[in-house]
Structure 1
């Protein structure tokens, strides 16, 4: 018979309203972060609809009434810039500085399109969506119509892929059969760049193009297209060679990055490094915040 043990909750059941002055950040913002596009989007979203995700804090064990800010540094900085004095926070039951958002899968372009379309269908003006996301109205208009002319099979293939919006502009210039071939090739190579999509467009036979006279550059000859096809095959072989050569090194780097993240997940270690080796802390945080270690993808691009 298996004994039952009570499960310890990682968070308190209710949020707590805390003064921003009582929050102690565990890391400093990088220089120039307030000029970044990401910070501008956070500012626009907070200004338009408030916080979507509450910051995560833990009680400061050395100072009663103060809290360690575990997650939400940019959101808190945005609130300060907007003159907000207090915020509702999620209270963690430990002081582990776990980087929560690193475990979140970001929206793919097709998922973002569906989100925008759903909001528009529910009556939300495009201007309001643009304000919340920190984008131009024209950009929202483009996102809402991104899949026009894209066949359903391609939408299913690329639904979770990190494709730039411009890739769909290129695919739209191909016939449905060629769209499927291109989408499968991009997925097989894990290369979703616009350059790769344009290379496949240039190698597409005329009978698989949409609006051939208007879309195909007049300077591209049959010989040039054949050469690009050969270069594309050569590129795929180079990618395979890189995968074989760097696979072990990438594994070692991935393990090392995971170990650094584990160290930075311990608040006591972070405080010790900040006090005794502050010059190392920024570099370790940079390593820990790397999303992927993929020299193969870089080579393919």
Structure 2
């Protein structure tokens, strides 16, 4: 198949140009609950529209058989805010298919490190902290905290966590650690897929004194000095075992993939299956179970 033919088979998700559509011509898929209007998310979107206008256009699809009617697929809060403001129309993206989905489910939410970089860029362009706070509908102290997010965080950790949804307080805990320990903690959180403040706090509590930035350890409520020392020893042992497992994981995983692939080929061979069913039914059942687990993974 030629490249031109391949391109002809690709269907655009949206019409090539956006349209300015009167709000009265847009059908809503649902009504806006009063509880949603009182939510922080609604307030944030309303503040953003008030300060900088519509950044992400709503998504509509044409109603079949009605040339001037559109059905809203994404952007119910934005449309509701515009109606409350008294706006008459809005620029929309026009989808080519009504997939009856929520487009926001396909959007990756912004990680806090990316939000930090966005705030720095805005400040560099002359946007004031006060205007940013109004646009995001947050307290100005929140803008300042996110602006200073990576102060005291080593570059390696910033790169490791740049796409992860990490709470602000987790970074505050990690600032208590020296750079090498920060990297170890970041790698541990990624391996466990746990980035909560409480988990970071437990890792900091289990950190030996010489890996802390402060010369004096802050007392941990509910734990004695002996318990903290025990936690440090256990954390060191766990970290050592984790490193050993991490080193062999790749080879073990490859062996497992090859073994399950071989079992899948065996169970596809009729003669082999008949032989196992007659002489080793327990092995056949186990092989088939392993293959089913592989296919379900």
Alignment TM-score > 0.5, same fold: yes
The aligned runs of 1:91-170 (5 Å cut-off) are 91-170=94-173
8 Å CA contact retained: 1:173, 1:215: no
8 Å CA contact retained: 1:16, 1:89: yes
RMSD: 2.5
Using the size of structure 1 for normalisation, the TM-score is 0.71
8 Å CA contact retained: 2:207, 2:235: no
Give the superposition deviation at 1:210. Answer: 1.6
8 Å CA contact retained: 1:60, 1:66: yes
Counterpart-to-counterpart distance in 2, 1:218 and 1:196: 15
Name the CA shift for 1:180/1:231 in 2 (closer, same or farther; >3 Å). closer
8 Å CA contact retained: 2:32, 2:80: no
8 Å CA contact retained: 1:56, 1:69: yes
8 Å CA contact retained: 1:199, 1:228: no
Counterpart-to-counterpart distance in 1, 2:223 and 2:12: 63
Matched length:
235
Moved more, 82-91 or 142-151: 82-91
Q: Which of residues 52, 62, 75 is equivalent to 1:59?
A: 62
Using the size of structure 2 for normalisation, the TM-score is 0.72
Give the superposition deviation at 1:220. Answer: 4.1
Give the superposition deviation at 1:131. Answer: 1.2
**What 5-or-longer segments of structure 2 have no aligned partner?**
243-297
Give the superposition deviation at 1:46. Answer: 0.6
8 Å CA contact retained: 1:71, 1:97: no
Indicate whether 1:20 and 2:31 are aligned: no
Give the superposition deviation at 1:94. Answer: 2.7
Counterpart-to-counterpart distance in 2, 1:144 and 1:108: 14
Give the superposition deviation at 1:95. Answer: 2.4
Give the superposition deviation at 1:93. Answer: 2.4
Give the superposition deviation at 1:213. Answer: 2.6
When Rg is computed on C-alpha atoms for both structures, the one with the higher figure is 2
Moved more, 58-67 or 179-188: 58-67
Q: Equivalent residue for 1:193?
A: 196
SS, match of residue 216 in structure 2 = helix
Give the superposition deviation at 1:64. Answer: 4.1
Structure with more relative contact order (C-alpha pairs < 8 Å, separation 6 or more): 1
8 Å CA contact retained: 2:206, 2:235: no
Name the CA shift for 1:31/1:228 in 2 (closer, same or farther; >3 Å). farther
Name the CA shift for 1:177/1:228 in 2 (closer, same or farther; >3 Å). same
